[in-house]
Amino acid sequence: MKFNLDNLVKDYDNLNEELAKPEVFKDQKKVRELSSRKKQLEESVELYKEYKKANESLQEAVDILYNEKDEEMRELAKMQKDESETLIEELEEKIKISLLPKDNDDDKNIMLEVRAWTGWEEASLFAWELAKSYTIFAQNEWFSIEVVEQTLSETGWVKEVIMEVKWEWAYKRFKYESWVHRVQRIPETESKWRVHTSAITVAIMPEVDEVDIEIREEDLDIKACRSSGAWWQHVNKTDSAIHMTHIPTGVSVFCQEWRSQHKNKERALQILRSKLYTMEEEKRIRERWEQRLAQVWSWDRSEKIRTYNFPQDRVTDHRIGQNFSGIPQIMMWKLGHIIDALALADEQAKLEAASKINW
């Protein structure tokens, strides 16, 4: 397999030169675009540099074996040749993976929304449990996470909760959680021990700035109202909550995170931008659906992506047809192995499609 990545290295060096120019920083959108492109190329460039060094080492060993008569030197050269060949093979695979198509939002912070869908209070309970699992999982993976907004059910569970997850690659780590999650279990209120089925939805929305999507003031319906208390905290009623509706799309946001009406308005705008950006991105994805490389992303949004079967202690991810045991641990926070399996399936599907490319 031959790699011709010299142009990629040139692009990377050019990006560094552009980012070193003071005038570039007058345009923050351009800075983000250049920085994002640089970050996408960084891994491939570093791997390619290692690959070139390994090839130089291999050529050096071959030259010694061809010209040297000293047996001790030849033995050392043979070891160097074997090590270089093994390293080159490993680096070729890593470079192939690093060159696979990436989501432009992979390195962004996210808004993580969990919403009860079907199943009444059982769905609200499960939404609360899964949101709590995401919270502990994020903290254990060194992300910062905080509740932005929530709506509680009559019994105190969650109708809807939005959390902000921050740190590098937040979207990349959580993106496979989007869409419908189904739960099958016996509710606490069930007197005849019958298994009920309910469902919640999870939305992973990349965080966007004002320059990424424009929202006109005249397209907003903004109302101030009373807050109803924060998630897992005591009720603290104020008059600072904001209910914001984007009139053209009907998308609405309610924010009561701060005691300041101004801060709540800013936060509501941030969430609204993320929601509208996600809607636009989904439209683009649908338009190029057949061209997507990864099978994991060709799933119909109307279908469930995962089922949590409590009686059988089984979690099934329907996109990859794989079962996982240990629901109590998974619901506590141990989701990493499921997310890793999805990322691997995505990667393998892309590699399979990319194998037709003449590297």
Angle at alpha carbon of residue 326, lines to 320 and 327, rounded to 5°? 85
Q: Are 225 and 243 in contact (CB under 8 A)?
A: yes
Contact partners, residue 262, CB within 8 Å, separation at least 6: none
Which pTM was predicted? 0.70
Strand order in the sheet with 144-152: 144-152, 158-166, 110-118, 196-206, 179-185, 304-309, 314-317, 322-325
Rounded Cα gap, residues 82 and 236, in angstroms: 68
Query: Can you read off the two tokens belonging to residue 22?
Result: 């003071």
pLDDT at 349 (0 to 100): 84
- Encode 54-81: b = buried (16+ Cβ within 10 Å), e = exposed: bbebbeebeebeeeeeeeeebeebeebb
What's the full length of the chain, in residues? 359
Residues 342-348, mean pLDDT to the nearest whole number: 89
φ, ψ dihedrals at 81, nearest 5°: -65, -45
Domains and CATH numbers, the chain: 6-98 (1.20.58), 110-347 (3.30.70.1660)
Per-residue pLDDT for 359 more than 60?
Answer: no
Q: Which conformational region is residue 337 in: left (phi greater than 0), alpha (psi within -120 to 50 degrees), or beta?
A: alpha
pLDDT tens digits along 42-80: 989 999 999 999 999 999 999 999 888 888 899 999 999
Angle at alpha carbon of residue 316, lines to 318 and 196, rounded to 5°? 105
